[in-house]
């Protein structure tokens, strides 16, 4: 699933970055790497913060208004701000250019990600919400599993994880949140991980 996200960044970046004369050619790949890192990191932060429901909502909204919905999503706004800030700090882009790039590439990638994931076109079979969540919560660098085993997650954590006497979505959200936190901690300790894969993709 990561490869599909990176490919979307490359596609969106063609116009937003590569063909943008205000972005120096030698910084094109760096800008796209930063965008990819912002998107994957933002989604991972959502999961580790208990935002599984928000991600599911993002992917299950009205497709005819998906771009407007994504633009109005606070997670999208957070990603745009984060990317623009890093483009100014790390690559010395002007505020106007950094904001233009971020406001084009982040919603564009997220919109395509949602649209392709919801699509029944066999050409988009690589886009799968379960695979995305599984990737962001798996401790392996490149998990090959086809989706999240929600029943397995509940089983690992003793079913009723919040002590309310029943097993429901909140238990699953708690399980996914803890797995994502573990994944992030493992990446910080080992270094590399998703960052290395992103860098390798844009070389």
Q: What's the pTM?
A: 0.71
Please give the pLDDT value at position 123: 83
Q: How far is CA 103 from CA 91, 109, 195, in A?
A: 17, 11, 22
Number of domains in the chain: 1
Question: What angle in degrees, to the nearest 10, is found between the helix axes of 95-118 and 2-13?
Answer: 130
Range of the domain at 188: 1-203
- For residues 104 and 16, the answer to whether their CB atoms sit within 8 Å is yes
Let me know: does 148 contact 137? Beta carbons within 8 Å. yes
Give the pair of three-digit tokens for residue 104. Answer: 């084009």
* Predicted local distance difference test score (pLDDT) of residue 142: 40
- Mean pLDDT per 10-residue interval, the chain, length 203 residues: 88 93 94 93 78 70 51 82 96 96 94 84 79 66 42 42 51 61 61 68 73
């Amino acid at each position: 699933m990561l490869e599909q996200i990176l490919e979307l960044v490359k596609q969106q970046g063609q116009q937003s970055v590569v063909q943008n004369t205000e972005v120096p050619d030698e910084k094109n790949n760096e800008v796209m790497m930063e965008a990819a890192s912002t998107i994957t990191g933002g989604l991972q932060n959502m999961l580790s913060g208990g935002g599984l429901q928000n991600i599911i909502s993002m992917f299950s909204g009205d497709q005819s208004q998906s771009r407007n919905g994504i633009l109005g999503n606070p997670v999208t706004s957070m990603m745009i701000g984060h990317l623009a800030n890093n483009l100014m700090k790390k690559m010395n882009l002007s505020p106007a250019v950094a904001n233009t790039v971020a406001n084009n590439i982040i919603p564009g990638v997220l919109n395509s990600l949602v649209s392709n994931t919801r699509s029944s076109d066999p050409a988009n079979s690589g886009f799968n919400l379960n695979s995305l969540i599984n990737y962001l919560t798996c401790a392996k660098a490149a998990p090959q599993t086809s989706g999240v085993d929600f029943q397995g997650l509940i089983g690992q954590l003793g079913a009723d994880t919040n002590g309310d006497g029943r097993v429901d979505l909140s238990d699953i959200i708690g399980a996914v949140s803890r797995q994502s936190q573990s994944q992030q901690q493992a990446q910080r300790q080992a270094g590399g991980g998703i960052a290395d894969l992103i860098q390798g993709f844009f070389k």
